[in-house]
Amino acid sequence: MARRQLPIQPPQRSKSDALRVAALGLLSIRFIQGFIYWGGGSRRFIYAPAKLDPNAANWMANKFQSAMPGALLGTDHIIAFLLHHFYLLYASLILFSAAELIAGLFLMAGFLTRAAALVSIGLSVVLMLMFGWQGATCIDEWTMAACNLAIGATLMLGGSGAFSLDNALLARKPALVERGWFRWMSGALPLPVHGTFRRIALAVFAATVVFNVGTYNYYRGSVITPFHGGPVSPSKHHLALTDGVLLPNGAVRFHAFLDGGTPEAPSNVMTAVLKSNDGCVLEQWDGTALSHLPASAIANEFAYNRFAPGPFGLRAQMGAMATITLPVASSADTGSIHSAATLQLRTVNGNTFNVAVRTE
């Protein structure tokens, strides 16, 4: 009679072996996550220091301002406040760049890995809130920040149990195993939680999914709503015009804000036309007139991205905001206007933007 074969049991791994395998699996993303953030900081401090030079053309404040039109959760007001206070702005850019550099180095080396991963999570959230709407062909800023957020969350939970300074430090000073701060901040040991790691991991997972998917749906839909171009277009320039006033001397003053489009290219206004309510042209400024506006005619609210005369008209960089005065033309007859008229700006792409003009 044949003997009954017992089912073969799969080999069991010890807890330490399982942690080691997971740590080896996370090694690639830990290093590259660190390299991404180190690269961002090192470019500004080492390889392209002009980014932190207020007198340079690629000074970081310009990119900072370009994010303002689509920034979420009030971060646009924070950006505006910093742009109006140079020393706070400069300190913020230095601290942000330093955080990127240090967190990146720590992640690559596996030193205080969980603390560095937590910093990378914060950086990813800030970047997504400010720049997530940008990307002329796709939301590439959102994609990068969303991936980095998920990677940071994974590293914060998983740690750095392989080829890391955390491990080397623990081997040199075994007493650190009793230090709570070391368990929480490094990645050489499991988190000091008893029976609640699953709940922590699921909470981190839920927060990551809700934030990433929620911002994606806001920017592009395609989750619970149809696809859309976003509340702020990252590709088509848009001018928000307000406070149109016809001054007693016949000049026209208005407020303009370039609040949509790509920061990679400026918007160019080619003509401005003042029309009465019945459609009659009362006054017109062509590209030549706009390109020769005096500096006193343009009061920019920020010192970085600005409205300014260009070679073919009036040029604006993303996020530029200004009060503009169009001087009266020599042949203009605006004295008969006693009610609202309309000022229309036409850009080089043929788009038109209107603002009601009242008499002062």
Q: How buried is residue 238: exposed, middle or buried, by Cβ count under 10 Å (0-12/13-18/19+)?
A: middle
Cα–Cα distance measured from residue 68 to residue 76, given in angstroms and rounded to the nearest whole number: 5
- Helix, coil or strand: residue 134: coil
- The DSSP line for 8-47 is PPPPPPPHHHHHHHHHHHHHHHHHHHHHHHHHHHHIIIII
Kindly state the average pLDDT of the residues 317-330. 92
The closest of 226, 205, 216 to 150, measured between CA atoms, is 205
Structure letter (DSSP) for residue 62: H
Residue-level pLDDT at 77: 96
- pTM assigned to the model: 0.86
More confident residue, 353 or 14: 353
Average pLDDT over residues 78-93: 96
Q: What mean pLDDT is reported for the chain? A: 89
Q: pLDDT per residue over 15-59, tens digit each?
A: 666 667 777 888 999 999 999 999 999 999 999 999 999 988 889
Helix axes 140-158, 15-42, angle to 10 degrees: 140
Percent of residues in the chain assigned helix, strand, coil, to nearest 5:
45, 15, 35
- Is 10's pLDDT higher than 70? no
94-128 per-residue burial string, b: 16 or more CB within 10 A, e: under 16: eebbebbbbbbbbbbbbbbbbbbbbbbbebbbbbb
Would you say 177 and 16 are in contact if contact means Cβ atoms under 8 Å apart?
Answer: no
56 to each of 13, 26, 82, 101, how far by Cα in Å?
57, 39, 18, 21
Res 340: pLDDT? 73
Q: Answer whether 252's CB lies under 8 Å from 271's CB.
A: no
Spatial CB neighbours of 235, under 8 Å, sequence gap ≥ 6: 136, 137, 229, 261, 262
Rounded to a whole number, what is the distance in angstroms from the first to the last CA of the chain? 110
pLDDT of residue 4: 60
Q: Which residue has the tokens 């970047």?
A: 127
From CA 157, how far away is CA 321, in angstroms rounded?
44
Rounded CA separation 161/33 (Å)? 16
- Residue 316 and residue 256 in contact, taking contact as beta carbons nearer than 8 Å: yes
H or E segment to which residue 87 belongs:
helix 86-109
Choose among 289, 351, 350, 354: nearest CA to 325: 289
Q: What is the pLDDT of residue 288?
A: 94
Cα dihedral 261→267→272→276 (10° resolution): 0
Name the residue among 188, 196, 195 with its Cα closest to residue 158.
188
Instruction: Give pLDDT, residue 7.
Output: 57
Q: Dump pLDDT digits (tens) for 192-227.
A: 777 688 888 999 999 999 999 999 999 988 898 898
pLDDT at position 161 over 90: no
